[in-house]
Structures are given as C-alpha cells and as structure tokens.
Structure 1
Amino acid sequence: MAGAMIVALDGTILLMAQPGMQRDLGASVSQIQWTSTGYLVAVAALLVIAGRLGDRYGHQRLLLVGVLGFGAASAGIALAPGVGWVIVLRAVQGGFAAFLQPATLALLRLAYPADRLGTPIAIRTSAIAVAAGSGPLLGGVLVAHLGWRAAFWVNVPLASVIAVLTLAVRAPTPQCANPPRLNLTSAGLLAVALATLVHALSDVPARGWTASPTLLEFSAVIGVAAVLARHERRTTHAIVPPAVAGSVPVTASMAILLVTGAGVFGALFKATFYLQDVLRLDPLASGLRVLPLTVLMVLGSPVAVAALRRYGARRTAIAGTVLVVAGIAGLSRLGPASTWMAMAAVFATIGAGFATVMVTATGTVVGDAPPGYAGVVSGLKQTAMNIGPTFGIAVAAGATGQAASTMSSTLLILAALAALGLLPASRLPGRPAHLNGDGPAAGFPARAPIPQAAPARHAKAIEQPPNAPG
C-alpha cells in the first residue's frame, strides 16, 4: 500500500511545484511540460519489463530497488541546479516508479488466495485515492512555506521507511522451477512502442491530432507493434506469454481500465479548466468541488468488494461503467447556474463508478494471473492505467481545442469513450457459484491455481504484505 501511495502522491504534488519550479529555474513552458512527459514516457516503456523481471528475480527485490531509486531520484531533483537536470532526473524517477508499481500488485497475488484478494485490493484502491486527493493540499502547503524543492524532499523519508519495511517483512515466494527469461528483443520493441505512443499522446494538446509529427509517431507505433507481434509469435520466451495474452478476463479487464480511465481523467482535465477559467474559482475551491469524487472512491471500494462477491465480476463491472458514463454525461449538463450539490452529485457518481471498475478489474487481473506471471500481468494493468489517462487528456484537449467554455460536447465524447468499457465488461466471469464465499469462485476468478508459497519466516508476512490500486 505504501509503495502505491508514494507514486500517487508524487504525481499530484508535482502539479503544485511546477509553477514555482518554472520561476526559480527560469524554465520555459515546454521544459516544464517535459518534467511530466519524460516521467510518463519512462514509466510506460518499462512497466511490463519490470513486471517480467519481478517474475524472474523476485517482486520484493524489485520493490526495494524501485523505492530506493525513486527516493534517490527525488533527492536529486530537489538539489538540481537547472531545469535540464530536473527533466533527466524525472525520467529516471519514472523508470524506478515502473519497477515499483507492478511489485505492489504482484506481491498481493502471492500473499493472498484469489478468493481473499477483494479486501486488500479495495484498501489499495482507497489508499491511492487518498494519496492522490491529498497531494495538491500537501504540495500547496510545502511549496507555500518551503519552496518547490520541498515537494521532492518529502519523498526521501517516505521511500526510506518503505525500504526498511520491505527488508523487514518476508513475503511468500512462488516455487517456480523454470522462472521466465526476459526476451531482450521483445522488451526493446515493447519499450519503443509504448514510449512513442505516450509521447505522441502527451503532445496532442499542443500539436493536435492531425499534425505531421503526431501522425508520424502514431505510424511508428503501428509499425513497431506489428514487428513485435510477429516476433512474439515466433519466440519461445514471449514478453507477454500466451497464457496471459489468451486470458479473456485479463485482456477484458485491461480494456475496461484503459477506456474508463481515459473517460474519467479526460473529464477531470476538462472540468478543471472549466472551474478555473469559466467559473473563476481558485485552485482550492476547484479542488473542493472535485473532492466528492475522492471521497466516493474511498467509500465505494469496500462496497464494490461486497457487490463483486455477491453478483460477480461481469455485473459489477457493468454497473461501475454505467455509473462512470452517467457521471461524465451529467457533468456535461452543468453550467454556471448549477448548484454546488448538483456538481458534487456528478463527481460522486464518477468516483463511485470508477472505484467499482478499479476494484473489479484489478481483482480480476491479479486473481486470474497464471502462476509465475503475476509481475507481467501487474505490469500490463499498470500500463493500461498510465496510457488511459494520457489518452483521455489528449481527447479532452484535442476534441474542441482549449475552449473551456464549450466543454459539453467534449464530455459527451468522453462519456461515449467510457461506454466502450461495457463491451469488455460483458466478457468478464459471471455470477459466482457460491454467494457466501464458500468456494474459490466467490468474487474473483480462480481458474489459475494459486502458486505454492514458501513458508514465511515471520508470521506477519501473510497478514501484512509489504504493499497495499491504479
């Protein structure tokens, strides 16, 4: 949980640090944007590779390397003399975040059987929502009193504590006779394809969808992806194993996360400009208007677990997707005369729906992971959760330009995008056979056998895994 929270916290604190960073370092707007873009590109390129390495060398080891590197990179940014160093170190920080994130999910797969994953995943989802929601407030206080560098110094003690916990608690490890090897050709092609895709999407707000560089990058992504697919079919050590690629619950869950994440974050991007540029609210007042989304994500996660156990993944995911679509569509109907309660209601609806989708899809992905592949599955899930928001913001910024006052049509487009999640949601497992949790089908798919865990050296290794979305 702590490993997932530090990444979520860092992402939202950065938003408060960037204006002060620009003034202090004399940076251009483009350079400040690259402090985010470089991070996103590095994360997207390495998530699946990091998950594969965790499957081979141990997820706890990857968690330790990731959190130590994340903290060290944060300290380097806090000491950086110029914006060039900040950009480079943010990319390094993104690389270590990629090592960190899949391990926080893969360790859950080792520590809990499939029918008990609901509560840990709900706690992790709620914790991420709390961290992301409190980031702007904490960042505002730190930047106002100590300067922008304090927003990065705060990661250092947090990372140190997580590293100590990682060393102190021994999690169960799967007894795999033949740990999967990392195919370097596949890894390189996948990293290039994902990095190029994220870079292209990140530049859509500035360049537009039809600009020559954008089209060229998208064409390159298609070409590299085609070469990767051909190589994966021929190699004996595919970076995405056939057991994972052929799992309908896993692929459907990732599709749901991608499109609903795109809809939610695209809507938040558009709504933020609307609140500040049209309604003339300050950042704090705008944040308070959006606060019901965070609250309902925290409160909705345990409710989603109960619904998942009773009604199964298919019905629960469909219900969550419908709530997300209804919330975004409702947001499109708000105007300057709308009451605070009406705005709170639509944001709360989005939050409740997204929490339901997150818990259901994450539980399905992790619970259905074949033995020995928890890391690569977790990496794929985190990749979907990184590309989805980037895609949604590109749609929000590029659909109607930067005109915040004409957000209605853009939000309807984003609602339609989120509605695409209904199709993969219908492919998830149906109603569980045992409603009261008496069998392995009680809430999470369990067609893949649970990896046999080595005996833990400490009793608390099972009760308190060293991680917690998404």
Structure 2
Amino acid sequence: MRAPGPAAGRRLTLTSSVVGAVIVALDGTVLTVAQPTLRRDFGASLVRVQWTSTGYLIAVASLLVFAGRLGDRYGHRRVFAVGSLGFGLTSAGIGLAPGIDWVIGLRVAQGVFGALLQPATLGMLRAVYPPDRIGRPIALRTSAIGLAAAAGPVLGGALVGQFGWRAVFFLNVVPALALGGSALAVREPARSPAPAARLDLPGACLLAVALACLVRTLVGVPGTGWTTGSTAGLAVAVVAAAVFVRHERRTANPLLPPRVLGSATVGAALGMLVAASAAMSGTVFAGSCLLQEVLGLDPLETGLRALPAAVAMVLGAPVAALLLRRFGARRTTPAALCVLATGVLLLSRTGRGSTAVSVGTGFLLLGAGFAAVMVTATTVVVRHVRAESAGVAGGLQQTAMNVGPTLGVAAAAVLMTPSGDAGTGPALTLLAAVAVAAMPLARWLPGREGRRPAGRPDPRRLRELRTGR
C-alpha cells in the first residue's frame, strides 16, 4: 500500500494513536473487574492473581523509554505495528491460558509489547503534526483514554458476567491485530538517511533496573508496609538511577539526549505529570474506600458517584487544548493543579451526611484538573524535543503516567492502613498537598506564544515543512 497523502496520513495516524491508547487503557480497567473470577477459576491465591497486574506494570514501566528510542531509530510506525501485533497475540494467549502461571507469564510478555506500543502513539503524532498543532490531537487522545476509563469497568463487568474472564482478553485481539496489520501495510515516504547511532544498552538496563525496583517496591508497600525488602528495593532503585544519570552524561550515544536529560522544561512537565497522576489515582483509590466503608455504597454505586471524573476528562481535554493555546502552559497548568487539589479537598470532607452532589462535584473537579494537566504537560514534553527524539519523549511521558499512579496509591494505602477509615482524610489531604507542591514547577514551562504579524510565516512551521520533522 502506498503512503497516504498528508491529510489522510494525519487522520490515519491520529486514529491509530487514539485506538492504540484506548486498547491499553481498556486492558487495565477491565482486568480489575476480572481478577476475582480469575482467582476462583484457577483456585489461585490473591497474591498470585495480583501478579497478573504487577508483572505487566513492571514490564511496561521499565521498558518505555528504551522502546521510545527504538521508535526514534527504526520508525515509530514500525515499532507501533510490532507492539500492536504482539499485544493482540499475547491477549489471545492469555484468553486460552490453562493456568495462572501461564496468565502471569503472558501478562509480562504483554507488558513488553505494551511498552513498544505506548510511546509510539505519541511519536507518530509528533512525526506528522507540527509543534504548534499537536495540542488538539493530544487532547483527543486524552479524551479517548478518559472514555476508556469510564467504560472499562462497565464493559468488563458485562463481559465477565456473560462470558467469563477470558472474554476480557479476547476483546483486545481483533482491534490490536487490525492496527498492527494496517501499520505494516502503509508504506511510509522515504526519509533521508541519517547516521545510525549505537543503542545505549547499558543505559537502558540501568534505567530498567531503577524503574522495575521502584515500581515493585511501591506496589508491595500497601500490602506489607515498609519492610527490610522494600527498603532494599528502594535503595537499589536510587543507586541504579544515580549510576544511570552519571552514565548518560559520559557516554557518546546516551539513551536520553542531552537536550532531554538536561532540560528544565521537560523535567518540570514530567514532575507535574507524576504529581497530578499520583493525586488522581490515590484519590480514586482512597475515595472508593471512603464511599464503600463510610457511606456503605456497593461497588456499582461507588462507580456511579465517581463517574463525573471520567466525564470531565472526556469533555475537559479539548477545553484544555484551547486554554493552552490561549494562555500558555505556564498559566494553564498551575490553574489545573489548583482545580485538581480543590476536588481532592472536597472529597476529603466526605462523611455520612455527604450528598451525591457534593461527592460528584469533587470527582468532577478532580477529572477536569487532571485532564488539563495531562494535555498541557504532555504537549510541552512532546513539543519541546526534536522530532528525532519524539519516541524518548513519549517514553518519558508514559513512564511518568505509570510511576505517578503507583506512587499515589502506595502513599494513600500506607496512611490508611494503620487507622482504617479515619486515615482517608489525612491521605486525601496529603494528595492535595502533592498537587499544590507541583505548582511552582510551572515557572519552567513556556508561556503563551506571541502572535506574528500577518503574512509573516512561522519559522518552526517552515522548518517542519522543509525537513518533514
């Protein structure tokens, strides 16, 4: 198949990026609903069933940046195709798995392909959209993820109830294989050859060790608390991260280019993504416990009370793109963090006398603030780097979006464990403080771009047209 024209190519790329992100988001949300049935069918312990999520998360988080670098070197569409096909095939394998060990192993393999898939969804967008027009595609992608988060539990519950837990994984097979096949079928226009730099395998291994130890420690803390093992795991993560930074500054072909590793703008945007996603996920976790254990709601009623957060993500992402264009990231992001923190604080005051309106308002502000931070900070990360490093930027963004929720849930769970229901208030207060503490990072974000006189072209736009990057 020949390469499509510019407009058709952008539409195809946007569709692939959005659908790919939705598949991954749905996989995580529907699996949560399927785990109890999975445990009963195999007679497995709770710990082993939890490894179906933990193994996947560790594999994804540890490989995202390296996967983004592979996309920068070999082409994002090609890496996206491999990730999509592998994701679909491992989904089919999990649906046919004869035992829990097979499920865990295939989930780890699925995490590897998911790591290839996720950064490529952003890298492909950066390759076909100029920096000044990428905000809206990212907003559409964010809206789709919010819709998947809202529909996932409902769809998962319906599938598990009617067809069993295996249907949850079969759901991914056809769209993932179709995405991968279409990506392989499209012949991209020839690019001018560039000297191939060596892949930084030592750096990739160091970063993978640091992230794997960090994620494993954070996932285990809610169940076991701070033990000698968790402390050792955190220490290994810190040491590996320090060695990684030192290695990157000295090697000739670093995994993270100097423009990315030493960029205050990229670092600030990633810090805001970690803080916002930690506050969002930690609040959903603590808020769900609060609604069920204090207000006595069942899981379905709890999901309905939290639904405004997902609705706000779907509707708020396009609005965030407009605000970003009008006011710039330096003003939009701290305002969004303020909205998010206000929603968390409203939910922290939930008690037996709380109404559905007050709870829904808290979740509505939570989702709106998070969507705006996600759109704005992601746009900053993707726009700030050159097109040839877009995969690494996408990998860093996805890493932040994986580490942040794990950190938020772990922090909330640790505070709630000793005091039970009484610990939800302090946990939510801490999460609100995390969002507020990230606001000063906005000083390193770009402000509003000034308008150019009529008839004067945008230099960056001209460069994009000349180089195709």
TM-score (norm 1): 0.92
Correspondent of 2:248 among 202, 222, 232? 232
The answer to whether the 8 Å contact 1:175/1:454 transfers is no
Correspondent of 1:111 among 128, 133, 144? 128
CA distance in 2, matches of 1:104, 1:40: 18
- Root mean square deviation, CA, Å: 2.2
The answer to whether the 8 Å contact 1:259/1:421 transfers is yes
Would the alpha carbon gap of residues 448 and 321 (structure 1) be closer, same or farther in structure 2, given more than 3 Å must change?
farther
1:9 lines up with 2:5 in the alignment: no
Residue matched to 1:121: 138
Shift of 1:168: 4.2
SS for the counterpart of 1:429 is coil
CA distance in 2, matches of 1:251, 1:219: 22
SS for the counterpart of 2:199 is coil
Would the alpha carbon gap of residues 351 and 440 (structure 1) be closer, same or farther in structure 2, given more than 3 Å must change?
farther
Residue matched to 1:135: 152
The answer to whether the 8 Å contact 1:60/1:103 transfers is yes
Q: Which moved more, 1:385-394 or 1:77-86?
A: 77-86
1:300 lines up with 2:300 in the alignment: no
Q: Which structure would you say has the larger RCO, counting Cα contacts within 8 Å and 6 or more residues apart?
A: 1
Would the alpha carbon gap of residues 161 and 278 (structure 1) be closer, same or farther in structure 2, given more than 3 Å must change?
same
CA distance in 2, matches of 1:380, 1:145: 39
CA distance in 1, matches of 2:161, 2:147: 21
1:419 lines up with 2:436 in the alignment: yes
TM-score (norm 2): 0.92
Q: Which moved more, 1:161-170 or 1:283-292?
A: 161-170
Identify unmatched segments of 5+ residues in structure 2: 1-17
Q: How does 1:18-33 map to 2 (within 5 A)?
A: 18-33=35-50
Correspondent of 1:336 among 352, 356, 361? 352
Correspondent of 1:64 among 65, 74, 81? 81
How many residue pairs match? The answer is 451
The answer to whether the 8 Å contact 2:417/2:423 transfers is no
Residue matched to 1:279: 295
Shift of 1:190: 0.9
Shift of 1:173: 7.4
Shift of 1:172: 6.3
SS for the counterpart of 1:102 is helix
Give the AA of the match of 2:156.
Answer: G
SS for the counterpart of 2:387 is coil
CA distance in 1, matches of 2:132, 2:182: 26
Would the alpha carbon gap of residues 175 and 428 (structure 1) be closer, same or farther in structure 2, given more than 3 Å must change?
farther
Residue matched to 1:102: 119
The answer to whether the 8 Å contact 2:61/2:211 transfers is yes
The answer to whether the 8 Å contact 1:189/1:225 transfers is yes
Residue matched to 2:394: 378
The answer to whether the 8 Å contact 2:294/2:351 transfers is no
Shift of 1:170: 5.0
Structure with a larger share of its residues in helix: 2
Would the alpha carbon gap of residues 440 and 171 (structure 1) be closer, same or farther in structure 2, given more than 3 Å must change?
farther
Correspondent of 1:186 among 164, 183, 203? 203
1:52 lines up with 2:63 in the alignment: no
Residue matched to 1:468: none
Aligned sequence identity (%): 51
The answer to whether the 8 Å contact 1:296/1:351 transfers is yes
Residue matched to 1:84: 101
Q: How does 1:164-183 map to 2 (within 5 A)?
A: 164-169=181-186, 175=192, 177-183=194-200
Deviations 1:379-410 (A, max 9, x none): 01100000000000000101231723531111
Deviations 1:145-203 (A, max 9, x none): 00011101111112122123323445667646224431111111111111111000000
